[in-house]
Amino acid sequence: MQHINRAQVKQALSFDKLIPALQQGFAGNAGMPMRQVFELDDNPSNYDAFAVLPAWNDEVIGVKAFTYFPENYRQEKASLYSKIMLFSRASGEPLALVDGTEVTLWRTAAVSALAASYLAKPNAKHLVFFGSGNLAPFMIAAHLKVRDYEKVTLVARNRDKAHTLISLMTAQFPNVIFEHQSACEALIRRADVISCATGSHTPLFDGNWLSQGVHIDLIGNHHKQYRECDTRTVTKSSVYVDSRANVLNEAGELLIPIAEKVFRADLVKAELTELAKSNRSQRNSGNEITLFKSVGTALSDLVTAKLVYDLVQK
């Protein structure tokens, strides 16, 4: 059995390879039970958790296990640790233990960008991105692979982190204008795509500020009682998800409007497997507002880990 560490994952992957691989993986036949997330403390202010995500397709069987300890920064440790175990689908033989922490960053960003390739306007030029954490450079780079953005506006509370990120992204994408601003009505109205990857417990902007044709991408929240967007944003949008089972079990963005009786589970237009099988734009008009909510799927971990495994063999 092969052990593939974080550095090997980082060296092997690129969004040019990963986004098409995920499209093919989600369009193909696969098994993916609901992921299991276990809270480790009864204290409502403690969010330590352990999760298990199984999946399989015609080539491999995989299980991802991860821990999430958001207060780890106080001990100068990472908040998330993860491993993915791959087995042969043909024989059940263990193939590899892959670093899941790096895989999670890549696959989260690639799934977000893949959805945007179906849901964002083809001529989208302005991306507004909320967040400056570890995911931020991955998210921005992935979205720049599926649309020709001329400007990326970063909304982040930590000014130093925001400017460090802007310097990094400017070096990678010199033809794109990067700027740091606070969230306001004028900024939200100018956005073609709004992508959110934060730990916020409350909505990041007012849904009444959204312009026609905007696409909203929400990946930061995994809790039933919290959300990155308000109810108005959901009710104005055509809603898509990475997994109905997972999102409708975990995400306050949809569960809160459902509890308020202004949204229903059957109003979700499609999940990512359906988008990938169709593999074409899902927009009905240039004025349609679309929303994609993701909490993560085992299939995206499986496909990404298998791609890494294959690339490392070369």
Residue 43 has a pLDDT of 79
Burial class (CB in 10 A: 0-12, 13-18, 19+), 274: middle
pLDDT tops 80 at residue 160: yes
pLDDT tops 90 at residue 79: no
The enclosing H or E element of 219 equals none
Do both 289 and 306 map to the same domain?
no
Do both 34 and 56 map to the same domain?
yes
Q: pLDDT tens across 26-59, in order? A: 999 999 998 888 888 877 777 788 999 999 999 9
Do both 149 and 238 map to the same domain?
yes
Cβ atoms within 10 Å, residue 92: 8
Q: Is residue 15 part of a domain?
A: yes
Structural domain range at position 160: 119-297
Residue 182 has a pLDDT of 93
CA distances from 121 to 79, 212, 217 (A): 35, 11, 13
Q: Is residue 84 part of a domain?
A: yes
Angle formed at CA 106 by CA 289 and CA 115, multiple of 5 degrees: 20
Alpha-carbon gap, residue 29 to 262, rounded angstroms? 34
From the list 15, 10, 30, the residue with the least C-alpha distance to 272 is: 30
Do both 74 and 157 map to the same domain?
no
Q: How many structural domains are present in the chain?
A: 2
In degrees and rounded to multiples of 5, residue 138 shows phi and psi of -65, -45
Name which of 30-39, 146-155, 183-192 the model is least confident about: 30-39
Q: Is residue 183 part of a domain?
A: yes
32 strand-pairing partners: none
Residue 124 has a pLDDT of 97
Q: Is residue 110 part of a domain?
A: no
CATH code at position 23: 3.30.1780.10
Which band of pLDDT confidence, cut at 50, 70 and 90, is reported for residue 199? confident
pLDDT tops 90 at residue 152: yes
User: Which positions ≥6 away from 218 have C-beta within 8 Å?
Assistant: 196, 228, 229, 251, 253, 291, 292, 293, 294
Do both 78 and 27 map to the same domain?
yes
CA distances from 110 to 56, 145, 163, 280 (A): 19, 9, 24, 17
Tokens found for residue 180: 């740091």
Q: What percent of the chain has pLDDT over 90?
A: 87
Do both 250 and 186 map to the same domain?
yes
pTM: 0.94
Do both 291 and 173 map to the same domain?
yes
Burial class (CB in 10 A: 0-12, 13-18, 19+), 176: middle
Do both 181 and 221 map to the same domain?
yes
Residue type for position 133: G
Do both 45 and 64 map to the same domain?
yes
Q: pLDDT tens across 163-182, in order? A: 999 999 999 999 999 999 99
Q: Is residue 114 part of a domain?
A: no
Q: pLDDT tens across 80-122, in order? A: 899 999 999 999 999 999 999 999 999 999 999 999 999 999 9
Do both 69 and 124 map to the same domain?
no
CATH code at position 213: 3.40.50.720
Alpha-carbon gap, residue 290 to 273, rounded angstroms? 17
Cβ pair 136, 105 in contact under 8 A:
no
Alpha-carbon gap, residue 222 to 225, rounded angstroms? 9
pLDDT tops 90 at residue 25: yes
Strands 49-57 and 36-39: what pairing?
antiparallel
Tokens found for residue 185: 């009505």
Q: What percent of the chain has pLDDT over 70?
A: 100
- Per this entry, what is the length of the chain? 314
Greatest alpha-carbon pair distance for the chain in Å reads 57
The residue whose two tokens read 């916020």 is 200
